[in-house]
C-alpha cells in the first residue's frame, strides 16, 4: 500500500514523501530509517487505506485539550511519561480514548519517542501538536510545551465560544421564523385560497399571487413537500462542504462591514499559533509550514509568499508585510521582537491585542444584529398575514 507522509527533515524542513509499506506504522519506520521524523501519515488517493488513518478526522470520544491537561498534571507530579500513560489508562472508561492511549503506551514501551508515537496517530494528533512536542523533546521541557499548548487552545476555544454564543440566538430566531413562515405558506395560505377561490372578486396583486401559490400547494402537496425536503438536504450538504473547504472565511471577508473584522480574527489566530511555535523553539520556516495547515486557503497562499521572502533572507516582519499578513500594530511589535530576539512573544502579544478587540466587536455586533433580525422576521410574517386578510377587509368594506 502506498502512503503519503509529511516528515520533518534534519534541517527542520517539512517534506512530503511517498512510501510503499504494509501499514502506516511500517511507513513511519521507513522514514525514521532515513533520519526523517513523520508528522502525518495518510494513504495515497486510491490506496484504500483504513479509516483509522484518515487525516483531519478526530475521535469523538477523545479531547486533545483534556488529554494535555491531565498529562501535564501527572508529569508535574513527578511521574515518568510511561507511568503517566498507565495512570491515564487506569482512569479512562471511554473505548475510543482507551484505544488511543493503549497505542501510545505500546509505542513508548517499544522505545519510540513521544513525538514519533503521536505522529503515528496523525488522525488524532495534528502536526501542530506533534511539532511542539518534538521541539520540547529537544529541550527536555515537555511540561512547559504542554502548558503552552493548553493556554493556546484555551484562548482559541474562548474566542470560538464567544462567536458561537453570539450566533445561537440569531440561529434560533431564523429557525423559528422560517418554521412559522413555512407553516403559513404550506398550511394556512392553501386554506384561505380555497375560501376565496369562488368569490369572483378581484384581489390585490400580491394577495392574488400568494393565493395562487396556496392553490398550487393544495393541489400538489406531496410534490411540494418532497421538493422542499430535497432542497433542504442539498443546501445542508453544500453548506457542510463549503465550511469544510475553508471558503466560508473568504466569503465573510468580502461582506461589507464585517469582512475586515473577520480577517482580523483570522490573523489573530495566525499570530497566536506562530508565536506559540516560535516560543517552543521551532525554526521560523518549519513553524510557517505547520501553521499553513490551520488557516484558510487564501491565507495559506499569502503565507507561502511570506515564507519565500523569509527563506531568501528577508525578515519575518518584511515577509508578513509584503504578503498582507501584518496589521499596523502587529508590524510594529514584530519589528521590536526582531530587535530584541522575542518574535514569538511579540506575535503572541499581537494576538492578545486583537483577541480582546475582536471579543468587544462580537458583543456589539450581536447586540445590533439580533433586534434587526427579529424585526425582519416579524415584518415578513406580518406581511403574509396582512396579505391574507386584505380580501376580508375588502369584503367587509363592500358589505358596509
Average pLDDT over residues 14-37: 69
Q: For residue 103, give the nearest of 90, 92, 117, 116 by alpha carbon.
A: 117
Inform me whether the pLDDT recorded for 55 exceeds 70. Answer: no
Exposure string of 165-180, with b = 16+ CB inside 10 Å and e = fewer, is: ebeeeeeebeeebeee
Q: Return the pLDDT at 47.
A: 43
**How many C-beta atoms surround the C-beta of residue 351 within 10 A?**
25
Q: What pLDDT score was predicted for residue 56? A: 37
Between residues 340 and 32, the one the model is more confident about: 340
Q: What is the pLDDT of residues 191-250, one digit of tens each?
A: 776 666 655 566 677 777 777 777 777 777 788 788 888 988 898 888 888 777 666 666
| Segment 272-294 mean pLDDT | 84
**CB neighbours of residue 59 within 10 Å:** 17
Q: Which pLDDT value is given to residue 20? A: 67
**Cell numbers standing for residue 181:** 413562515
Helix (H) or strand (E) run with residue 126 in it: none
**The dihedral sign for the CA sequence 296, 297, 300, 301:** negative
pTM (two decimals)? 0.62
Ranges of each domain in the chain: 1-55, 58-125, 152-400
pLDDT at 282: 82
Question: What's the rounded Cα separation, in Å, for the pair 266 and 282?
Answer: 22
Q: pLDDT exceeding 70 applies to what percent of the chain?
A: 80
pLDDT at 387 over 70: yes
Nearest residue to 119 via CA among 60, 186, 36: 36
Contact status, residue 210 vs residue 189, Cβ threshold 8 Å? yes
Rounded to the nearest integer, the mean pLDDT of the chain is: 78
* 152-400 homologous superfamily: Type II secretion system (T2SS), domain F (1.20.81.30)
Residue found by looking up cell 525514521 in the block:
32
Least confident of 108-117, 245-254, 265-274: 245-254
What is the arithmetic mean of pLDDT over 130-159? Answer: 82
- 373, pLDDT greater than 80: yes
Amino acid at each position: 500500500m502506498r502512503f503519503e507522509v509529511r516528515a520533518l527533515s534534519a534541517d527542520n524542513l517539512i517534506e512530503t514523501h511517498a512510501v510503499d509499506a504494509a501499514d502506516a506504522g511500517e511507513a513511519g519506520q521507513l522514514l525514521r530509517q532515513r533520519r526523517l521524523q513523520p508528522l502525518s501519515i495518510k494513504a495515497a488517493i486510491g490506496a484504500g487505506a483504513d479509516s483509522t488513518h484518515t487525516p483531519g478526522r478526530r475521535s469523538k470520544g477523545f479531547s486533545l485539550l483534556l488529554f494535555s491537561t491531565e498529562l501535564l498534571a501527572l508529569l508535574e507530579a513527578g511521574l515518568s511519561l510511561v507511568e503517566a500513560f498507565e495512570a491515564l489508562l487506569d482512569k479512562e472508561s471511554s473505548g475510543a480514548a482507551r484505544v488511543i492511549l493503549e497505542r501510545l503506551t505500546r509505542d513508548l514501551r517499544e522505545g519510540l519517542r513521544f513525538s514519533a508515537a503521536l505522529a503515528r496517530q496523525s488522525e488524532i494528533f495534528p502536526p501542530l501538536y506533534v511539532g511542539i512536542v518534538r521541539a520540547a523533546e529537544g529541550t527536555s521541557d515537555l511540561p512547559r510545551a504542554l502548558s503552552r499548548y493548553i493556554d493556546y487552545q484555551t484562548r482559541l476555544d474562548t474566542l470560538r465560544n464567544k462567536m458561537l454564543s453570539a450566533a445561537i440566538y440569531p440561529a434560533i430566531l431564523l429557525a423559528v421564523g422560517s418554521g412559522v413562515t413555512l407553516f403559513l405558506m404550506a398550511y394556512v395560505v392553501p386554506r384561505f385560497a380555497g375560501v376565496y377561490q369562488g368569490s369572483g372578486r378581484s384581489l390585490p396583486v400580491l394577495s392574488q399571487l400568494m393565493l395562487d401559490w396556496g392553490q398550487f400547494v393544495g393541489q400538489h402537496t406531496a410534490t411540494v413537500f418532497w421538493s422542499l425536503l430535497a432542497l433542504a438536504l442539498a443546501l445542508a450538504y453544500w453548506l457542510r462542504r463549503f465550511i469544510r473547504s475553508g471558503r466560508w472565511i473568504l466569503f465573510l471577508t468580502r461582506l461589507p462591514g464585517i469582512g475586515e473584522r473577520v480577517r482580523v480574527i483570522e490573523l489573530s489566530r495566525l499570530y497566536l499559533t506562530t508565536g506559540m511555535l516560535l516560543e517552543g523553539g521551532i525554526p521560523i520556516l518549519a513553524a510557517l509550514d505547520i501553521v499553513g495547515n490551520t488557516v484558510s486557503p487564501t491565507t495559506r497562499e499569502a503565507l507561502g509568499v511570506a515564507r519565500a521572502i523569509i527563506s531568501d533572507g528577508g525578515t519575518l516582519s518584511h515577509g508578513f508585510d509584503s504578503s498582507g499578513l501584518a496589521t499596523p500594530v502587529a508590524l510594529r511589535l514584530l519589528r521590536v521582537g526582531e530587535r530584541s530576539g522575542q518574535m514569538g512573544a511579540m506575535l503572541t502579544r499581537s494576538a492578545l491585542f486583537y483577541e480582546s478587540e475582536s471579543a468587544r466587536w462580537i458583543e456589539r455586533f450581536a447586540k445590533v444584529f439580533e433586534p434587526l433580525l427579529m424585526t425582519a422576521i416579524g415584518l415578513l410574517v406580518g406581511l403574509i398575514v396582512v396579505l391574507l386578510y386584505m380580501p376580508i377587509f375588502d369584503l367587509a368594506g363592500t358589505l358596509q
